[in-house]
């Protein structure tokens, strides 16, 4: 069988089971003590066997968000960067644009699937989410809403089941 004929199941069989992850919380008000979404993401990653390479909290300022993403993309141990917060449509929500400007490739299916699953839980308010994913300098980047429920949904239903496979594909 040619390598182009392989299936996602075969890809997953050869995917890493543990990848280095960095979690970035975007918030004007959260502190390490009140960052429930960042904590939840870190706990779910560790429970799934992934290696936490660090975490941070920055204000919803595009330059700050981009600086952390660039710094983590330069870190050899970080393969995945997961952001939480700043994905809404208020005047302060600028994470989508900050991340979008850095992406080399976009995984539009992630945002579509996330909003579909979110719609099943919260109804039409799901359309307000600008959750996104893509590739930046060979790293997989996810940008999630700040709600712990939204983070749990994205992590459990989409990100964790495919994380090793995504990293394998980006590394090829």
65-94 tens-digit pLDDT: 999 999 999 999 999 999 999 999 999 999
Are 114 and 131 within 8 A, CB to CB? Answer: yes
Asked if the model's pLDDT at residue 8 lies above 80, the reply is no
Give phi and psi for 133, each to the nearest 5: -150, 155
Three-class SS state of 78 = coil
Task: State pTM to two decimals.
Answer: 0.94
Token digits of residue 134? 């893509």
A 10 A CB-CB count for 77 gives 12
90 dihedral zone (left: phi>0; alpha: psi -120 to 50; beta): beta
The pLDDT-based confidence of 4 (bands split at 50, 70, 90) is low
Fold that domain 61-172 belongs to in CATH: Molybdenum Cofactor Biosythetic Enzyme; Chain A (3.40.980)
Nearest in space to 159 (alpha carbons), one of 34, 19, 53: 19
């Amino acid at each position: 069988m040619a390598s182009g004929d392989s299936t996602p199941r075969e890809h997953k069989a050869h995917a890493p089971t543990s990848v280095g992850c960095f979690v970035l919380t975007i918030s004007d008000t959260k502190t390490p003590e009140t960052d429930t979404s960042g904590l939840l993401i870190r706990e779910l990653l560790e429970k799934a066997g992934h290696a936490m390479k660090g975490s941070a909290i920055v204000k919803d300022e595009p330059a700050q968000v981009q600086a952390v993403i660039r710094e983590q993309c330069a870190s050899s141990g970080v393969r995945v960067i997961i952001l939480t917060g700043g994905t809404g449509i208020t005047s302060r929500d600028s994470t989508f644009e900050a991340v979008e400007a850095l992406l080399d490739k976009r995984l539009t299916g992630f945002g579509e699937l996330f909003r579909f699953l979110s719609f099943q839980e919260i109804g039409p308010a799901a359309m307000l989410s600008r959750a996104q994913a893509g590739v930046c300098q060979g790293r997989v980047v996810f940008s999630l809403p700040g709600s712990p429920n939204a983070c749990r949904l994205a992590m459990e239903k989409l990100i964790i089941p495919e994380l090793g496979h995504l990293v394998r594909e980006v590394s090829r």
